[in-house]
Amino acid sequence: MKQKIDMIILGATVWIFFSNLHLYGQVKSNEPESVAESRQYWKSPVTGKTYQLIFSDEFNGKNDEVGPFWSYRGEDWTHAKTRTVSYNNKKYGIMAVKSAVKQKDGNMELHVYKKTGTPDEIYTGGISTINSLRLQYGYFETRVNFSRCRQSWGHWPAFWVMYTFPDEESVPADYDMFSQGTELDIFEYISTNNRMHTNLNWRVKDTVSANPASRGLHDMKKHSWPLGAEAGWHVVALEWTPEEVIWYCDGKVKLRRKKNEGKKFVPSAFQYVCFSMSAGTWGGGGNVADPKNPLPARVQYDYCRVYQTAGQKAYYKLPETGNVWTLLHANERINFLTDDKN
């Protein structure tokens, strides 16, 4: 009897968790309820798998700040200073700051802007689920608008997943995120050639350095495609299974990488979800610090949705569960959601 009560309590807690993830507007403005219901599932046109929505932020909050389950780049995710660039012998620090992330008019915006003075700095923003949600396999989707960053250069908005530990409390002895993980860039957008870039980045242990924790070796595989003349919104997504990784743009398959092509092409490590607006000299072949660069610029994201199917795993953490990482399988989530609706 006690076990049944515990399961009911757990089910209620999980539903609270997912309700919190949808807290800032499960239904977009003027969107019929039937549309909201239709996006609870996604069926892959390639693998045939049916996925259920497990995480959604529609960025409909009334506050400027995004939901509390997001971590800000420069605060509780990564260092504030990401790099330094020079222009005419003048150095600029590229700083990730919370103020460069805005929730406005049903979108999440990431900005890049310049601050002159002492020191001279360029501000950028980013958010991630590193402290709230980590997943092994799934389908990740966003809707993005580059119209407000197409005229400037030296920056690259991105949507990506990054490898990490499943949790900090009970890491398996045979778990090595550096050998099992690959950063999957769902896209990095370059304005000067109006192209979407996908990258697979991975690191391995540096066997040369005296510091055994150093991860000095790096490799990647790249692919890109043009967006064409279309301004406005694009739906970009990634399907990640144990067998392959598939990139989608506006419903079309853009790239497939299979495990038999190379063991690093399909990671098995747990990953967290990231949005970022980076800046420097790489993005677009121009220097973000160029005085002629028409800053500020911004990118708009309409939503973040994450789906999983049976057998795929996720760890989550939130205050309602005592800030303890909890493993929840996809089929268990489906049962909890169904029970709650009844």
Helix (H, G, I), strand (E, B) or coil at 282: coil
Helix ranges (H only) for the chain are: 2-21, 33-38, 177-180, 330-341
- Amino acid, res. 279: A
Question: The tokens of 81 are what?
Answer: 């200073």
pLDDT tens string 104-139? 999 999 999 998 776 789 999 999 999 999 999 999
pLDDT tens string 35-44? 567 789 999 9
Q: Could you tell me which CATH number the domain at 2-341 has?
A: 2.60.120.200
Task: Tell me if the bond preceding 212 is cis, omega within 30° of 0.
Answer: no
Predicted TM-score of the model (pTM) = 0.84
Residue 13 CA, chain-centre distance (Å), reads 25
CB 296 within 8 A of CB 99: no
Give residue 231's pLDDT.
67
250 vs 228, more confident: 250
Give residue 8's pLDDT.
38
pLDDT tens string 142-195? 999 999 998 899 999 999 999 888 887 777 788 887 778 888 999 999 988 888
CB 129 within 8 A of CB 135: no
Q: Give the Å distances, CA to CA, from 20 to 26, 29, 271, 319.
A: 10, 18, 21, 11
pLDDT tens string 56-92? 999 998 888 898 889 999 888 877 888 889 888 888 9
Chain position carrying tokens 């002895």:
173
The share of the chain scoring above pLDDT 90, in percent, equals 46
Tell me the average pLDDT of the chain: 81
Q: Where are the domains of the chain?
A: 2-341
Helix (H, G, I), strand (E, B) or coil at 113: strand
Is the Cα dihedral 45, 46, 50, 54 positive or negative? negative
Q: How far apart are CA 151 and CA 280, in angstroms?
A: 16
Is residue 264 pLDDT above 60, yes or no?
yes
